[in-house]
Amino acid sequence: MSGPSVLFIGGSGIISAACVREAVEQGFDVTVLNRGETDKRPIPEAVTRLQADVSDRTALEGAIGDRRWDVVVDFVAFTPDQVQRDVEVFTGRTRQYVFISSASAYQTPATHLPITESTPLKNPFWQYSRDKIACEDLLVEAYREDDFPMTIIRPSHTYDETLVPFSGGWTVLGRMRAGKPVVVCGDGSSLWTITHARDFAVGFVGLLDRAEAIGEAFHITGDEAPTWDRIAHEFAAAAGVEDLEIVHVPSDAIDALDADWGASLLGDKANTSVFDNTKVQTLVPEFAQTTSIRQGAREIVAWFDADPSRQVTDERLDGLMDQLVERWRVR
């Protein structure tokens, strides 16, 4: 007898791939629907594969045919029109629809800590977050008015071995190894919750096919909240760099030079973010942080070192960092 059936739309991203693996391990009957264009994170052989570009509704409906699933999870819905399409397509086809929102949707900066699921949703700095809030509003209305069986999940900064948690990715590790200063926003002392995808996946899969999760929102984050300075030092140590130079730069100064980088700081990373995970742990008591940022940093550096072709420097961002260092370095 097979376990509950679940459709993952996406399935090859940092969070979604970990959740697919965890769902298979927990005995779910897993189907993945995506464009099939990446093998960066291999999908388990036990998974049923469907291929379509979900932005093409005709292609989406053609790929799923008359199938039904106990759970449908969309990892690649970012705007209200995409969520509205899902509501229309999957009404009557699933007992639980799971939307991946973002912890950056919470009030930014928060007026009180730790952040709980009752913290207001408001982010005036980042359009990405405002779009996620609008998606949540649409789903709440669909649940209230039409009994659409939705669950909202808000990840915070979630990573795997392929993701350096700084803007620019490998560029920052490359600077460390080259003896160049690295830019850290603010004074480096804000606390930042960072969560490994395999830990997130345990909490996430534990909420699937759960009647108690319908109509509810949950964030799923780690309990470790190091400062940005400590995160930088952990990566330097993992990269074998003994003498790391950090240059602190105000987030609004970064924003003035690069609006996208600035929005991701002012609307997210520059703000102290500490979360209370009581709600998810009440339903999924086995959820816990098992991977520290120290261990995560080692895994990330090892992944990049295993294949030098992965060590790609963003020349534009590297140049911007040089400009910021020149302006803000304490001499």
- Residue 233 has a CB neighbour count (10 Å cut-off) of 18
Q: State the pLDDT at residue 66.
A: 95
User: Could you tell me the strand order of the sheet in which 150-155 lies?
Assistant: 48-51, 29-34, 5-9, 69-74, 94-100, 150-155, 217-220
Distance of CA 87 to the CA centre of its chain: 22
- Which residues, listed in sequence order, are joined to residue 97 by a DSSP beta bridge? 72, 150
Identify the three-state secondary structure at position 195. Answer: strand
Pairing mode, if any, of strands 94-100 and 182-185? unpaired
Report the chain (331 residues): mean pLDDT per 10 consecutive residues. Answer: 90 93 97 81 89 93 96 96 97 98 94 96 94 98 98 96 94 98 96 96 98 98 96 98 97 95 90 95 97 98 97 97 96 78
What are the φ/ψ torsions at residue 127 (nearest 5 degrees)? -65, -35
Please provide the size of the chain in residues: 331
* pTM as predicted: 0.94
What are the φ/ψ torsions at residue 74 (nearest 5 degrees)? -110, 110
| 117: CB partners within 8 A, 6+ apart | 154, 216, 217, 218, 219, 279
Distance of CA 233 to the CA centre of its chain: 22
Token pair belonging to 280: 């998810």
Cis? peptide before 124, omega within 30° of 0: no
- Residue 89 has a CB neighbour count (10 Å cut-off) of 17
Cβ contact 204:22 at 8 Å: yes
Q: State the pLDDT at residue 37.
A: 66
